[in-house]
Structure 1
Amino acid sequence: MTIPAPLTGVVPPVCTPLTPDREVDVPSLLRLVDHLVDGGVSGLFVLGSTSEAAYLTDRQRRLVVESVAGHVGGRLPVLAGAIDMTTPRVLDQVASVTAAGADAVVVTAPFYARTHPAEIGRHFRLVAAGSPVPVLAYDIPVAVHTKLPADLVLDLAAEGVLAGLKDSSGDLTGFRTVVTGARTRPDITGFSVLTGSETLVDAALALGADGAVPGLANVDPHGYVRLDGRCRAGDRDGARAEQERLCALFGLVGVGDPARMGGGSSALGAFKAALHLRGIIDCPVTAEPQVPLSRGEVERVGTFLAAAGLR
């Protein structure tokens, strides 16, 4: 299907359930998709950071896209990460995920080698020229060690190279620059500006963002859809209350002991533990070499769910 221009609402970055032997658990994945669709989301983003895309083989990546796109059957747009180090490798990913049914691709700046803004611009132009579907930029400097310059993003939007931006940079000033430019520049139309923050969705929408891509929406899609609706209805008090409930729930990402695991292991492990405790996925295992949560840490995830009214 064609993605809306702009794409609005809640577009969760879908977790990838795994079996105990670290293969894609397709039945659990499809239950998770049903859970998100029932929650009222506006689209699905597979093969992003929350999807553990960096840990999946190319075969597993394609299986995820084929499974989700086939199950959704055009009811919602399916965005797929085409994330790799260099332009030729990204173009290979684009070919794979679009053949598997993706309606749009989400692409980071190149990484491994240090790049100049001119090279980043060339990268996106070449990817867009080789992609049969719209391309959205993914600004995630914590993973690729490059911050996308706001002026470059806006220029690429004006050229028609980029259809949107998923901003997970944490740079609110840069985010605001893109939101304002997308709204005021006459040479930009239909460009989607999406926040990747779990805790600032109400603020991002107030600034003029089109929607949100929060990993926590896997656990509570209904809450983020309520938040989006209250923001759009002008219910500031209701939106603030819902955002504060979700901020408290987001505390579950910190249950892992930092003395023995990284923040990614803790956050993704907590998301999957929450989905397992809610009966949505069969197994909360994360991909290697991430460190699993302990039994006590999983129990702490349960207390966050209970406090949020989800158990």
Structure 2
Amino acid sequence: MTFPAPLTGVVPPVCTPLTPDREVDVRSLTRLVDHLVEAGVDGLFVLGSSSEAAYLTDAQRRLVVETVAGHIGGRLPLLAGAIDMTTPRVIDHVRSVAAAGADAVVVTAPFYTRTHPAEIARHFRLVAAASPVPVIAYDIPSAVHSKLPAPLVLDLAAEGVLAGLKDSSGDLAGFREVVTGARERPGVSGFGVLTGSELLVDSALALGADGAVPGLANVDPHGYVRLVRLCRAGDWQRARAEQERLCALFGLVEAGDPGRMGGSSSALGAFKAALHLRGVIDCPATAEPQVPLSPEEVERVGKYLASAGLL
């Protein structure tokens, strides 16, 4: 499909259902895609953090993109993460996911090696020059250990290198600078600014953001679609109430015991447990070496779903 400029609305970062032996569960993946599309989402993002992209083999990554692209058949824009440590490796992923059917790629700054902002800018320019599809920057300093400065993002937007930004930095002031610059800076047009926060979607849209990429939208896509529509209609009181309901539901990411597992195991395990409890996916397994939730922790997830009216 023709990639929209800018990309707007709710674009869930799609979880990757796995079988008990940690292979991609294609049947559950297509069922999850249907669950999201039927809720009215505006696009799909595979191979991001919520997709467990860092844990998947290259063959599994390609299978995910081919499966989702083939299933949606161009009905919605499909973004795919091309996330790796260095420019040559990212370019390999870009070519692979574009050939598999992605309409745009989502790319972080390089990581593992220490990089200067000039090197980060060069990275994005080289990736864009090699990419047959638009490139969206992914600002996630918690994972790559460097922040994308707003001036750098806006410079690359003005050059036509970047088609958008997915901001998972937690820096609302920096996010605002990008939103304002994308609106006011000469030479920047068709640049989509999306928040990756589950908890601040109403605030981000009030600042002028184009949309949201919330992992919790896997579990409750209808809630995020409602929230964005209320914001667009200017019904901020009802939007705030919906956002607060989703904030309460987001508490499920802390179901796991921090004494025996990391935050990723807890959050992704909770998303998948919730999808399993809702009958969307067959198995709640997360990729190794993440620690699975215990039966008691899964029961805790179920209580959050029940409180939110989802069971």
TM-score (norm 2): 1.00
Once the two structures are TM-superposed, the CA of residue 187 in structure 1 deviates from its matched residue by 1.0
C-alpha distance in 1 between matches for 2:210 and 2:78: 17
C-alpha distance in 2 between matches for 1:187 and 1:77: 24
C-alpha distance in 2 between matches for 1:3 and 1:262: 36
- Root mean square deviation, CA, Å: 0.3
Look up the equivalent residue of 2:126 and give its one-letter code: L
- Listed as ranges, the gaps of 5+ residues in structure 1 are none
Name the structure 2 match of 1:288. Answer: 288
Deviations 1:6-28 (A, max 9, x none): 11100000000000000000000
The answer on 1:238 being equivalent to 2:238 is: yes
Aligned-partner SS, 1:74: coil
Name the structure 1 match of 2:259. Answer: 259
Aligned-partner SS, 2:165: strand
Look up the equivalent residue of 2:306 and give its one-letter code: A
Aligned-partner SS, 1:137: strand
How many residue pairs were aligned?
311
- Give 1:18-57 correspondences, 5 Å limit: 18-57=18-57
C-alpha distance in 1 between matches for 2:25 and 2:178: 38
Deviations 1:193-225 (A, max 9, x none): 000000000000000000000000000000000
Name the structure 1 match of 2:158. Answer: 158
Aligned-partner SS, 1:286: coil
Name the structure 2 match of 1:15. Answer: 15
Name the structure 1 match of 2:278. Answer: 278
Look up the equivalent residue of 1:147 and give its one-letter code: K
- Give 1:82-231 correspondences, 5 Å limit: 82-231=82-231
C-alpha distance in 1 between matches for 2:131 and 2:67: 21
Aligned-partner SS, 1:59: helix
C-alpha distance in 1 between matches for 2:3 and 2:109: 22
Look up the equivalent residue of 1:219 and give its one-letter code: V
Aligned-partner SS, 1:193: strand
Aligned-partner SS, 2:105: strand
C-alpha distance in 1 between matches for 2:76 and 2:154: 26
Aligned-partner SS, 1:240: helix
Aligned-partner SS, 1:7: coil
C-alpha distance in 2 between matches for 1:27 and 1:242: 31
C-alpha distance in 2 between matches for 1:294 and 1:285: 12
Name the structure 1 match of 2:298. Answer: 298
Once the two structures are TM-superposed, the CA of residue 186 in structure 1 deviates from its matched residue by 2.0
Aligned-partner SS, 2:194: strand
Deviations 1:107-140 (A, max 9, x none): 0000010000000000000000000000000000
State percent identity of aligned pairs: 84
Deviations 1:55-91 (A, max 9, x none): 0000000000000000000000100000000000000
C-alpha distance in 2 between matches for 1:120 and 1:199: 28
Which stretch of the first structure deviates more once superposed, 46-55 or 2-11?
2-11
Aligned-partner SS, 2:23: coil
C-alpha distance in 1 between matches for 2:302 and 2:144: 32
Look up the equivalent residue of 1:237 and give its one-letter code: Q
TM-score (norm 1): 1.00
Aligned-partner SS, 2:193: strand
Look up the equivalent residue of 1:291 and give its one-letter code: V
C-alpha distance in 1 between matches for 2:169 and 2:2: 27
- Listed as ranges, the gaps of 5+ residues in structure 2 are none
Look up the equivalent residue of 2:16 and give its one-letter code: T
